[in-house]
Structure 1
Amino acid sequence: MSAPFLFICLSLVLSFSFSSSTLYRMRKGSSLCVEKSGDVLISANRVFSAGFYPVGNNAYCFGIWYSRALYDGSHTLVWMANRDQPVNGRLSKLSLLKTGNLILEDAGHLTLWATDTTSASWVQLQLYNTGNLVLHTLEGKILWRSFDSPTDTLLPQQLLTKDTILVSSKSQNSYSSGFYKLYFDDDNILHLSFDGLETSSVYWPKPWLRPWETGRSAYNNCRTAVLDSYGHFNSSDDMQFSSVDLGVGSKRRLTIDADGNVRLYSIDERRRAWIVSWQAISNPCIVHGVCGANSLCTYAAETGRRCKCLPGHKMKNHTDWSYGCEPDFNFSCKNDDAVFIKFPHVEFYGYDIGFFPNQTLEWCEERCLQDCNCKGIQYKFDDFPNRGYYLCYTKAQLINGQHSLGFKNPMYIKFPRANLFSNDKTVQEFQLDCSRQVTAQLNRTYKKKQENVTVKFMLWFACGCGGVEIIGFLFVLYVLYKNSEGSNAIEKGYLHITIGFKRFTYAELKKASLNFSVEIGRGGSGVVYKGILSDNRVAAIKRLSEANQGEVEFLAEVSTIGRLNHMNLTETWGYCAEGKHRLLVYEYMEHGSLAENLTSNSLDWKKRFEIALGIAKGLAYLHEECLEWVLHCDVKPQNILLGSNYQPKVADFGLSKLLNRGGIDNSYFSRIRGTRGYMAPEWVFNLPITSKVDVYSYGIVMLEMITGRSPAGVHPMDDNGVMEQRRLATWVREKVHGATGNAPWIEEIIDCSMDGEYDKDQIELLVKVALQCADQEDRDARPTMSKVVEALLGHESDDF
């Protein structure tokens, strides 16, 4: 059945249903049947309808749509119950059972969808004026609502939360789930991502930028977004925009379309068409996965988006570009069989095998030739201040390719030497340069005079085209130079390790620290000095003691630190990698370490409890919320720093080991890490190292804050380090369990500097949490840091 004919039939069916039915609610024991055109729920304002909607030949979804048809007779679906499992056009029905469960049956036999609700009281299904399909009791208790499970559309007043996701349709002609998602990620930021069959990646906001560089904030816990009835969109991560037709009355919808872009639509009542009043992405080539692997996306406002296979490649599926292209040649792993072809103004985002700064093109090519998995290299000049060298990125896959004059640097793609000349015409589609034409000898049967005329004409024509391109290229460079913000945004796509950091010279830091004369801290990884930077910021400069680390490894570690961002982690401002010198530049914490403040008795109980909560939040972020899984491995008071308002920040987290979330490999830890007195028994007994080692150390630190005693100070030190670690926890546990009456143990263990000024309930809670964290016998009994945060926040909420 053709699409126009389907729309006309649907329009007639729906028009008849509107004129012959006034079904505003559905009660227990009733059903809506697919074969009855009048079985449609209508909102009181008649704006929305709910019923069986045809999505193919003898295929129906139960959905919600705008009642009034568009100019072409079609209707706009805003929600579907069974988008990926259409039902048959006969004997299928939606039934509200007497148990209170709403079910969708396919041909009267198979239940494809259900609300899984129960209620002994009177229940009804009603379509609200907002487009929300609600199952509720007579008393108004909501059992289920469609707003809590959106498909690809967000309606005004409908919340997008941490538990809901918008998923695009497969294509403009298919309503089934597609590859693009709009959702709140674990960093509390609203993201757009591509989730393909083989790869997945985030593309909005720009993944190489930090949240504040895109106008977002990760410091929120609610993770909610809403489009209000006036046309304003507000998100908890500070993402805001407004419709161009602000005001009450307009019909609007926010939809993630099949092309991976999110758009806000407003209805033009006169033309009966949806008008785009805002969109997330202006250049559709930024969307990942649009052209598939081994292809390039180009975009022009006049012609729109186009996909093109790389030279020597062919489309996998001629009906769908998302499948990408595949090589039309065989590739051996021998270095002599491969050459590189230069593609100006081309980039492939992501999927780097390695990053190598300050290397020659020849070195970079040789590196790629030695790796069978290397498909090509991105080679660019880094003109960031205080630098000025080339960066080499070797690519494992050629995905998310773009061709744009906005990219100043070329891409070098590896090809078999035997196929180089047979594909010269496709190479020239991206570069027309008279000085570098690749030609092949042809058999000619015409006269020499005619040959000379033809050759001259072709030569002049090619040179003319090249001249025009060079003039255009110089003009674009001038525009890009004048509009530096745009070019900088593109450049930042490759600054994996330098975004947000300044690369200091050793001389700068030596001058800032007065020749490293003011020492403010010392640890196993190095010495920390106070310094004043050239912009008058006070900084903590850490001089790492392990100077034998290579620059590439060090920069990779700095890159990891740069991706960690939390209010309870120390902020890194820059680094130095010069010769054997390795330094990190942090924000300066005015009140020093927790250890210093505990010995000086400068912390009252309120500050101590807030410090306990802040440390827990910082560790919970490292363990569960950031993109990397970070184990601190040395949680102790010396590594907890306090700011001007005594806000706690965990330090030295960037020098710990990074593990994949998928599993644990104890071979990463070649030696015992941590500080005697705070180390979990796993270190001594060579047990698998997990995040529970940090939980154990946290528990010991909390007991030290409560009692004012160090782990080694309660009893004489034993020869066995593990026994020493148990002393403080064992002593507190004995006091708690051996007490009689109304918690007299508090007075026995509390730091005497508190002088009776403390919150008894908070102490009981913190002691309980700390003892559970410092469980010696069963590490699995220790809670996660997120559970610790919940416990402490739960106590706080009781006070309000």
Structure 2
Amino acid sequence: MEYQNKKMFKFAIFFLHFLFTISSSSTIIPLPSTLRASARNQSWSSPNSSFSLLFVPITRSSFFLAITYNPGNVIVWSASNNGTGDAVVVDSGGMLNLLRNGALRLVNGSGPIVWDTGTANRGVSHASIDDSGNFQLLNSDSFPLWSSFENPTDTLVPSQNFTVGKILHSGSYSLSLDRSGNLTLKWNDTVEYWSLGFNSSINGNLSSPRFMLRPNGILIGLDPSIPSGMVNMAFSTDYGEGNDGFRFLRMDDDGNLRIYSTSGNSVAGNVTPTWAAVTDQCQVFGFCGDTGICNYRDSNPICGCPSQNFEPIDGRKGCKRKVELEDCPGDVSMLQLEHTKFLTYPPEVSEQTFIVGIAACRSNCLQSGSCIASTLVADGSGFCYMKTPSFVSGYQGAVLPSTSFVKVCGQAVPNPPLYKDTSGKYDESRLHVMVVVVVVLAILLALVAVATGFWCWFYWGSEKSGYISAKYELFDYASGAPMKFSYKELQQFTKGFSEKLGKGGFGAVYKGILTNRMAVAVKQLEGIEQGEKQFRMEVATISSTHHLNLVRLVGFCAEGRHRLLVYEFLRNGSLDKFLFTPEESLNWENRFNIALGTARGITYLHEECRDCIIHCDIKPENILLDEVHTAKVSDFGLAKLMNPKDHKYLTLASIRGTRGYLAPEWLANLPITSKCDVYSYGMVLLELVSGRRNFEVSPETDGKKFSLWAYSEYEKGNIEAIVDKRLEQVNREQVVRAILVSFWCIQEQPLQRPMMGKVVQMLEGVIDIERLPTPEPVAEVSGSSTTMTLNSNVGALSTYATSTTAPSSSPSFINMGISPPRSEKDTAKESSSLLGLK
């Protein structure tokens, strides 16, 4: 009786554990169970069906066992032979058997075991596969006795730890982690050609280093001894752009380690690489096989042979001599290869390395019985590497300074101009195609030239001849160079400047149509005193900026006193009409994307251009939207055009700005830096959230300007009061993030404001947003005019009441373009203070 009670108790415990496991996002596979290769659509899948263990067909009669990510069918694990990473192949009668004794075995149709986990009679009670893609064999205490995560093949998925002792294999290549915290890529487990480590960043001893790919596309290093807990080591190009897609790290058979991304519910084949360990594929040792030479056609690596003394082996298996050196009936000579190097990595660096000249590097190898090739690295070191017969991996490129030599039998026969590709076939067919294309294009160009000649002969001197100079502007525009237009042409394109789109601080804007039917926006600049040559130089600088979130400059006019810029026309106009007019509105997703796009555009101007470009007038009117509401910053670089005498700092006397968006340093006569744009962007960001002007005053805001009122509401935790009432649905996390970032951007001290690159990261949620500092008193610009020009004369300054210090009786104010109420006496005093530039 007691025995039966114990047995029932154990059964109850197991049953409860079984139910708990099911509820914890794992699918339970009981003992015994079987998967058959011939049974279509048979699999063991995770609860949300993201991952499945199944047989993947190679042909109609051959299969291999794998874990795939669905629905993309990305293979993340396979039953493979240890040491190679090659999947074990079974025939159509193959089966995966989970036996009662806990063994998991892959058998062929004829009966032999081809793969085994080695878990027989070790207490396995069941198997499971969870939503992270981990397949496990567990005992009754849910302790894993074997798991796919602990036995990786060539791929790592997010949350899968890569620790010391584990290896990713792919053909001759492998990825491993040593105890010092270095990831290394090796060829044949001997030649280490790439390494990435994090121990140097912490200067400490590592106890149990490990790597992991996060779902957002960041490769991190982890160890208990790291004070911060982790170190970011690599970033995919789409890191932080949401977790809708699936990212994974794979050791590819070409010897490169890559992060791949899928987009949402991708289908098979829609997988793109977003990071590569070795950016130059030709630097991967052995990529083109023994004695193969790697080169590039466009951006694609191709493989060829050193000369016609060699013949290719199929695929990327390298090249072999047509006559081997030991069978050479005559003399052996040295083939010289310009701009070529034979890759040399540890441990070869310390062996057969000499400091000699080019002649000695050649002759020493020729006279040595063990040397088959040599490379002189022309980098000033004088190093000559002698290659032994073990393996030679070559790289050739037009910019490589190295010269190499290789032994051949008899006279060296150079290669024809075209290399052989990776399949070993000549490019003669491609050459024939190119010849035909060139001939056809030549005939077409001749016909165009004849037609153009007739057209000019018939219409020369007529009214239409004025358009000849602009006839081919489409071609110039496509080349990226700004077109030079005459003032008369722009008058014609704009119908005498009749359709006015708006007026900003730099001049009026008119709509125009070019002769190729392209719509443009023509801006007439005011106050430009530069000569034509200097103006064209500045325009060239502006036109060299290319970014998705910047308005493209099509052309310009510098004729006499006329200075005009021609931009692409964006049909949705400027952001302000969507924020501040009741007829138009945007949903939260569009607003957040506009905030991100604008921040990225400004980041490009500040941090990614050759010269930092300060916009000086960031406001909703200068943020334009295309058909899909993509934000594009306009009027960038115009501040420099307005201030030709001083390119280092923009001064109070020479710059234009807009009420509500000017940073305090304008009024303190301090140097103007990129932090002024950060301040203006913060004001725009707050307006994107609220749909109200930052300087707006209303009974709803208790008579305070909206920016100050918004901060007080944030301190009370009343976020909903700040958000635009027209928004029916918002992402609260994004809203809070945007509000906090806006408050950071409009800090009074420029040093407290973040750089725009950090603003983008905070908005994306890549980095945490720190606690806001205590609010400070603030300087204020007020007035009835929306756009103003600050001059150093009394008449202009007396128009705007300013404050450099808050009255002692007033509360503390954060820098949001606001100040406490002031008396007329205070105003006069403050204006005098500003005039003295105190």
Relative to the length of structure 2, the TM-score reads 0.41
Q: Which has the larger radius of gyration?
A: 2
Relative to the length of structure 1, the TM-score reads 0.43
